[in-house]
């Protein structure tokens, strides 16, 4: 039995949106999977009743506290020992659940990832990543998208390997094309960081390095399945896409496959990669649909055995 934990108290519209999303996901997850809800038991059961959903479809781990967006993440994680996030990570650490997802405090989720679950041995810096849609039909993985804003080349090189393993095992892309985001196609282009990373990645031999990818091709899918960049650049890309999505939506221009795929609700949250268990962080404003996608993505990551594959790759 695969157990997927969800912070029922996480997100701007929790617990309603979280629980409703869990109900949606419960109809789609595997017969061998179960969703474990962490949060206010009474409120969760009331929402389930409102959805006419039998409570025994879920496992509920009652918690009494919530880490709020305004809380100091590290302090709150410790002090609110009975918060849904803290308890969720305790369960994840002892393998009582095989993945944990939350649309709550990103900071607290990172504290749990780094301090309770901990980086996989050999990984210098875990990363947060994002799936971006492409017109080629399959998504590309962009990493880092905001965790490590100043990256040494060896960190970016590791992101190439982490991304390649994710794309192959979770996205099912055989021999994924890994590129470094750069401002020209030629090897000699770029800033000091991207040039040094290019050199290391080219020499790595651990993944299918295809060279530089320019940002004009992030969404074309023509060049790369895995796009490596520092967290500053990745965050700029992500937020720019969000901004243009909103503008295009206001103009009524999102009624097509590409822009629909740009909707974060379908993306399934931001995987934290390089720590010892599947952790996914959702957008604060997650709707039930977004929560559903995040749960399915967490289940998928756990099923794919990503953590074990990463451990194996980095024990060499």
Residue with tokens 């650490």: 93
> Given candidates 56, 95, 121, 150, which one binds its own copies under the rule CB under 8 A?
150
270-273/279-281 β-pairing: antiparallel
Per-residue interface string for the shown chain with its own copies, residues 252-271, x marking contact by CB under 8 A: -x--x-xx------------
- Give the nearer residue to its own copies in terms of CB position, either 75 or 246: 246
Which region among 3-11, 44-52, 63-71, 236-244 touches its own copies (by CB under 8 A)? Answer: 236-244
Q: Which two tokens stand for residue 103?
A: 């649309």
Does the footprint of its own copies cover residue 197 (CB under 8 A)? no
Q: Is 6 helix (H, G, I), strand (E, B) or coil?
A: strand
> Given candidates 21, 39, 73, 146, which one binds its own copies under the rule CB under 8 A?
146
> Given candidates 95, 250, 315, 316, which one binds its own copies under the rule CB under 8 A?
250
- Give the nearer residue to its own copies in terms of CB position, either 210 or 259: 259
Q: Alpha-carbon distance 139 to 132, whole Å?
A: 5
- Give the nearer residue to its own copies in terms of CB position, either 92 or 241: 241
Q: What Å distances lie between residue 81 and 85, 93, 157, 300, CA to CA?
A: 9, 15, 37, 29
Does the footprint of its own copies cover residue 75 (CB under 8 A)? no
- Give the nearer residue to its own copies in terms of CB position, either 204 or 220: 220
Does the footprint of its own copies cover residue 285 (CB under 8 A)? no
Q: Alpha-carbon dihedral of residues 72, 77, 83, 89, nearest 10 degrees?
A: 140
Query: Can you give 106-174 as a three-state secondary structure string?
Result: HHHHHHHHHHHHCECCCCCCCEEEEEECCCCCCCEEEECCCCCCCCCHHHHHHHHHHHHHHHHHCCCCC
> Given candidates 12, 187, 242, 308, which one binds its own copies under the rule CB under 8 A?
242
- Give the nearer residue to its own copies in terms of CB position, either 12 or 308: 12
Q: How far is the CB of 192 from its own copies (least distance, A)?
A: 5
Phi, psi torsion values for 101, nearest 5 degrees? -130, 145
**Under rule CB under 8 A, which residues in 11-30 are in contact with its own copies?**
none
Does the footprint of its own copies cover residue 192 (CB under 8 A)? yes
Does the footprint of its own copies cover residue 239 (CB under 8 A)? yes
Q: How far is the CB of 100 from its own copies (least distance, A)?
A: 25
Length of the chain equals: 316
Classify burial at 82, counting beta carbons within 10 Å of its beta carbon; exposed 0-12, middle 13-18, buried 19 or more: exposed
Q: Which two tokens stand for residue 246?
A: 């909103």
Count of other CB atoms within 10 angstroms of residue 246 = 11
- Chain residues binding its own copies by CB under 8 A are 135, 146, 149-150, 181, 183, 190-192, 194, 214-220, 230-233, 235-237, 239-244, 246-248, 250-251, 253, 256, 258-259
């Amino acid at each position: 039995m695969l157990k997927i934990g969800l912070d029922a108290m996480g997100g701007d519209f929790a617990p309603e949106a979280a629980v409703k999303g869990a109900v949606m996901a419960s109809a789609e997850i595997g017969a061998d999977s179960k969703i474990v809800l962490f949060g206010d038991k009474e409120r969760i059961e009331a929402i389930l009743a409102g959805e006419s959903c039998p409570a025994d479809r879920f496992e509920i781990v009652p918690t009494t506290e919530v880490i709020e967006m305004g809380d100091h993440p590290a302090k709150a994680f410790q002090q609110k020992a009975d918060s849904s996030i803290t308890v969720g990570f305790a369960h994840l650490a002892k393998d009582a659940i095989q993945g944990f997802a939350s649309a709550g405090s990103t900071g607290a989720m990172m504290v749990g990832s780094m301090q309770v679950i901990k980086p996989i041995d050999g990984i210098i810096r875990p990363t947060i990543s994002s799936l971006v849609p492409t017109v080629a039909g399959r998504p590309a993985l962009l990493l880092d998208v905001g965790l490590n804003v100043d990256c040494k080349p060896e960190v970016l090189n590791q992101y190439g390997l982490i991304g390649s393993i994710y794309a192959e095992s979770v996205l099912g892309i055989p021999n994924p094309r890994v590129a470094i985001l750069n401002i020209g196609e030629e090897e000699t282009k770029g800033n000091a960081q991207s040039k040094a990373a290019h050199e290391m990645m080219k020499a790595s031999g651990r993944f299918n390095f295809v060279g530089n990818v320019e940002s004009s091709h992030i969404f074309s899918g023509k060049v790369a399945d895995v796009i490596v960049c520092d967290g500053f650049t990745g965050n700029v890309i992500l937020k720019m896409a969000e901004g243009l999505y909103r503008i295009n939506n206001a103009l009524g221009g999102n009624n097509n496959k590409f822009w629909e795929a740009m909707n974060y609700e379908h993306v399934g949250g931001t995987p934290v990669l390089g720590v010892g268990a599947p952790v996914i962080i959702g957008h604060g404003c997650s709707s039930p649909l977004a929560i559903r996608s995040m749960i399915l993505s967490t289940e998928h990551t756990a099923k794919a055995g990503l953590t074990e594959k990463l451990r194996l790759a980095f024990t060499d």
